[in-house]
């Protein structure tokens, strides 16, 4: 059965020949314990008078009451999430509501929340936690144990350990669900507060060489079974757009200005405007133009199965790489940097809020020649 926090107490000496107690609430590994000081309840070091003995006896009773109250609070799975409204709200009912809202316009987001829901249900089943668990029963210990389970036990549908980046993403989505409960006044505070998400770690980035992109482009011309998936992937290779923006891209976002074909849209994830000239390779990847409000890549949706189709396409081209829809964006970024694009300008092309995000992902691929940069400024004089 699910374990709760451990409450213990330590004697703290004072300078007045007295002492008091400090309570420690231990939530387990990976999270700092909480401390509660009972400095208002004093004990005599030497109870050598009837009055002092009486005070120590009374203080002992009060401290015992406080200790029992803390144990009851932290072991009934309601701490840190006191209900305000929605007393009968089940956690997974609330989860479905958040998932529907967050994933309403983005199939990738919806897929991620679906994966998280399956993880949470599996975690609950493993720990004999009922699936009709209430929101106010999700406590900090639950959050920490779920985080540990993601890192040490959770596996993909194919039985492989979950990548650190996915661990980080799923935990952050879990925190979003709990924060949403606070925003809707279902709980007073989120039990995930103060619990760090799993570290993303340093994972090998998969990207395609220019030759490999062209190999896949040549194959796409011969295969008409999945034209939109192929065209959308190639368009992303030459523009760096996220899969979500590819699937919702409309023809009104592809504009002609002075005989130059431009892309002009607000990104779905960060709500940042990106606007730049499309390279000819991207233009060549576009299907036949339709109405301004029609999707460019008709009925293109990204699911887990989509990545399998992309991998099969790559294998048919003789490319043995574990590619996903995001590989196109990585490929675009890497080739921009290798050809001298600055980190600042790449951040603008990718729709990042700051170049810090871009550097975190792609700093290893930057090829700026610092000596050349210094010579360009100061020369040899």
Q: Is 117 helix (H, G, I), strand (E, B) or coil?
A: helix
C-alpha span between 322 and 311 (Å, rounded)? 6
| In the block, residue with structure tokens 């070091």 | 45
Predicted pLDDT at 370: 61
Whether the pLDDT of residue 1 is over 60: the answer is: no
More confident residue, 171 or 28: 171
What's the average model confidence in pLDDT over 262-286?
93
C-alpha span between 29 and 220 (Å, rounded)? 50
C-alpha span between 195 and 317 (Å, rounded)? 44
> Residue ranges per domain, the chain?
6-74, 91-183, 210-372
Q: In whole numbers, what is the pLDDT of the chain averaged over residues?
A: 86
Whether the pLDDT of residue 77 is over 50: the answer is: no
Summarised one tens digit per residue, pLDDT across range 91-145 is 999 999 998 887 655 666 788 899 999 999 999 999 999 999 988 889 898 999 9
Predicted pLDDT at 234: 96
Predicted pLDDT at 323: 92
> Smallest Cα–Cα separation from 156: which of 301, 302, 304?
304
Summarised one tens digit per residue, pLDDT across range 31-70 is 678 888 988 899 999 999 999 999 999 999 999 988 888 8
Summarised one tens digit per residue, pLDDT across range 14-37 is 888 899 999 998 877 666 788 889
pLDDT bracket for residue 78 (50, 70, 90): very low
Say yes or no: domain 210-372 is CATH 1.20.120.1780. Answer: no
| Tokens (6 digits) for 222 | 């011969």
Q: How many CB atoms lie within 10 A of CB 203?
A: 10
Angle at 282 between CA 301 and CA 254, to 5 degrees: 75
User: Residue 349 contacts by C-beta under 8 Å, 6 or more apart in sequence?
Assistant: 240, 274, 276, 332, 336, 341
Predicted pLDDT at 340: 86
Whether the pLDDT of residue 231 is over 90: the answer is: yes
pTM of the model: 0.60
Predicted pLDDT at 80: 42
More confident residue, 203 or 258: 258
Q: What percent of the chain has pLDDT over 70?
A: 86
Whether the pLDDT of residue 205 is over 90: the answer is: no
């Amino acid at each position: 059965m699910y374990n709760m926090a451990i409450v213990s107490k330590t004697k703290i000496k004072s300078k007045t020949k007295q002492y008091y107690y400090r309570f420690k609430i231990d939530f387990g590994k990976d999270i700092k314990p909480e401390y509660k000081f009972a400095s208002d309840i004093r004990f005599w070091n030497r109870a050598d008078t009837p009055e002092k003995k009486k005070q120590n006896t009374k203080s002992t009773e009060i401290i015992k009451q406080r200790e029992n109250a803390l144990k009851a609070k932290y072991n009934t799975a309601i701490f840190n999430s006191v209900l305000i409204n929605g007393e009968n709200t089940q956690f997974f009912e609330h989860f479905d509501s958040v998932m529907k809202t967050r994933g309403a316009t983005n199939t990738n987001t919806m897929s991620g929340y679906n994966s998280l829901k399956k993880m949470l249900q599996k975690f609950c089943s493993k720990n004999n936690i009922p699936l009709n668990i209430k929101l106010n029963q999700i406590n900090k210990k639950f959050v920490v144990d779920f985080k540990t389970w993601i890192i040490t036990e959770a596996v993909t549908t194919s039985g492989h350990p979950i990548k650190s980046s996915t661990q980080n993403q799923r935990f952050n989505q879990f925190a979003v669900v709990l924060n949403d409960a606070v925003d809707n006044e279902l709980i007073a505070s989120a039990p995930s507060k103060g619990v760090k998400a799993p570290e993303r770690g340093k994972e090998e980035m998969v990207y395609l060489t220019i030759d490999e992109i062209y190999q896949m482009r040549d194959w796409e011309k011969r295969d008409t079974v999945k034209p939109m998936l192929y065209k959308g992937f190639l368009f992303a290779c030459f523009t760096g757009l996220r899969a979500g923006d590819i699937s919702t891209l409309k023809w009104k976002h592809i504009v002609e200005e002075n005989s130059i074909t431009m892309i002009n849209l607000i990104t779905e994830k960060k709500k940042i405007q990106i606007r730049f000239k499309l390279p000819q390779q991207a233009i060549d990847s576009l299907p036949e133009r339709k109405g301004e409000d029609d999707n460019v890549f008709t009925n293109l949706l990204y699911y887990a199965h989509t990545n399998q189709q992309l991998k099969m396409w790559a294998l048919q081209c003789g490319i043995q790489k574990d590619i996903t829809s995001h590989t196109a964006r990585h490929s675009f970024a890497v080739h921009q940097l290798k050809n001298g694009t600055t980190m600042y300008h790449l951040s603008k092309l990718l729709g990042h809020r700051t170049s810090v995000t871009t550097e975190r992902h792609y700093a290893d691929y930057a090829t700026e020649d610092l000596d050349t940069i210094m010579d360009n400024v100061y020369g040899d004089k």
